[in-house]
Amino acid sequence: MNIQTPVDPTDDLVASARRVLPGGSFGNMPAEVILKEGRGGRIWDEAGREYVDFLLGSGPMFVGHAHPEVTAAVQAQVPLGTTFFGNNRHGIALAQAIVEAVPCAEQVRFVCSGTEADLYAMRAARAFRRRDKILKFEGGYHGMSDYALMSLAPKKPGNFPRPSPDSAGIPKSVQDEMLVAAFNDIAMVEGLIREQKDELAGVIVEPFQRLIPPQPGFLQALRRVTAEHGIPLIFDEVVTGFRFAYGGAQEYYGVTPDLCTLGKIVGGGFALAAIAGRADIMAHFDRLAMADEDFLFQVGTLSGNPVAAVAGLATLDILKRPGAYEQVFATGRTLMAALSDLLKRSGFKAQVIGEPPLFDILFTDQPVKDYRDTLKGDAAILKRFNQLLRARGIMKGESKYYVSLAHTRADIDHTVGAWTDALEELKAGR
C-alpha cells in the first residue's frame, strides 16, 4: 500500500510565485507565506492555518484587521470614486486631524508610502537650508531611497561618519551626501553637527530606532543642538506615529521636531503617508509661495486619495476614544513581562527590548543602545525561534512584535503558550 504525503494547497501558488516574482515573493516575507484573510488580531493563510498576528501588515493594522468602522467607511466611499487627483474633502479632513494631533504639524503634504515621505522630508530640509548633506543614524530605517539605504544594516560597519550603501544600484556619489552617527551617542552627534553645520541640510532620526528606545536626554539634546544651529530636525514617525501616543513619539517622549513623516496607521491599512511640519519649511511645496529655485516639486497620482483618507479618519476616530492607548500598552506590557520571565527561566542569554506597542527579543545579555550592539545578538537562534513560533500559530516578521488594539486575552494566552513550547524545543536542540 502506497502512503501519499498530503499536498499543501498552497504548493501551486508558491510555484506560480517563484515563476513570476523574483525570489517568489513581494520582497517582504518568504515565498511560502501566502495570506488570505485577517480579522481582528488574527490572520489565516491559504491553507486555512490560523495565526495570532503580530505582523499587522508590518504595522498599519493597529486597530485590527477588517475593523467594522474602517470597512464601513471604505465601502461607503468606493461607489463614489476611488481617486480624483484633485483635492477631496476627506483628505483635507485627515490633514486637519494630523495638524490637531501631531505637535510639529502646522501643514501636511500627502504621499503614498513611507519611502516617499522620508525622501521628500529630506528634500524639504535641503530646499529650506540650501545645503546638501543629511545626517542619519546607523541602523535607522528611512525607506528605500538611495539616501535612506546608507548604513541601514551594514554587515561590516565602517568608521563614522562615512556611510556604507546597503543595496546594489546606488550611485557612489550618494555616499558624499550622507553622514552617519551612532544612535544614543549625543557626544558624537554634537561633534558632527558642529563640525558640519555649514554643510548640513538636516538631521533625520527614528525617535525609537527600530527596537531601540532613546536613552534619557538623547532626543532632548539632539533637539537642542539642531535648534542651536538652525538645522531642521526630522522625526521619522512612519512606525511610531499614532502608535506610541495619539501625537506619536514626539508626544510620548516630549520632544518636538521641525518635520516628521507619518505612514502605516495614518492610512488605516491603505496606501497613504505624509510629511508634516513647520509652515515655513512646508511652504517649499507651494509653487505660489516660492521662487522657482526654492520650489519643491511633488505630485502623486494617488496622494491623499479619498479611500485611504476615510480609512485613516475612521482609524484615528477609534484611537481617540478613552482607553484605547491604555489597552494597547497593557497588552504589550503583559506580553513583554511574560516573555522576559520565560527567557529568564529558560537559561538563554536574551532580553526583551522595545516599548509595549512594539518589541522583540535579542539573544544577548549585553546592553543594547545602538545598531552595533544589536549585532551581538545570536541571529541564528532568533531565526529558529521565529520558525518554531510560526509552526505554533504566531505570525511575525524576522523582527518586531506589533501589538494591536484588537489583541485579546485569548491571543495573549495562545502566544505565551507558543513561547513556552518553542523555548523548550529550542533549549532541547541546543
> What letter does residue 13 receive in the DSSP assignment?
H
Number of H helices, E strands in the chain: 13, 14
Write down the catalytic residue from 236, 258, 360, 370.
Answer: 236
CA 286 to chain centre: 28
What residues are paired with 135 via a beta bridge? 179, 203
> What letter does residue 366 receive in the DSSP assignment?
S
What residues are paired with 42 via a beta bridge? 39, 52
DSSP letter for each residue of 202-235: EEEE-SSBTTBPPPTTHHHHHHHHHHHTTPPEEE
Strands 394-395, 50-53: pairing is parallel
SS3 at position 343: helix
- What does the alpha-carbon distance between residue 429 and residue 423 come to, in Å, rounded to a whole number? 10
- Is 53 among the catalytic positions? no
Q: Where are the beta strands (DSSP E) in 18-144?
A: 35-39, 42-45, 50-53, 107-111, 133-137
Tell me the residue type at 323: G
Instruction: Give the cell for residue 172.
Output: 557612489
Any idea how long the chain is?
Answer: 430
- What does the alpha-carbon distance between residue 53 and residue 242 come to, in Å, rounded to a whole number? 19
- Is 141 among the catalytic positions? yes
Write down the catalytic residue from 120, 133, 253, 264.
Answer: 264
> What letter does residue 65 receive in the DSSP assignment?
B
Strands 401-402, 358-362: pairing is antiparallel
Strands 200-205, 133-137: pairing is parallel
Backbone angles phi, psi at 366, to 5 degrees: -85, 150
Write down the catalytic residue from 51, 120, 141, 246.
Answer: 141
Cell 520632544 sits at which residue? 255
- Is 344 among the catalytic positions? no
Residue numbers annotated as active site: 141, 236, 264
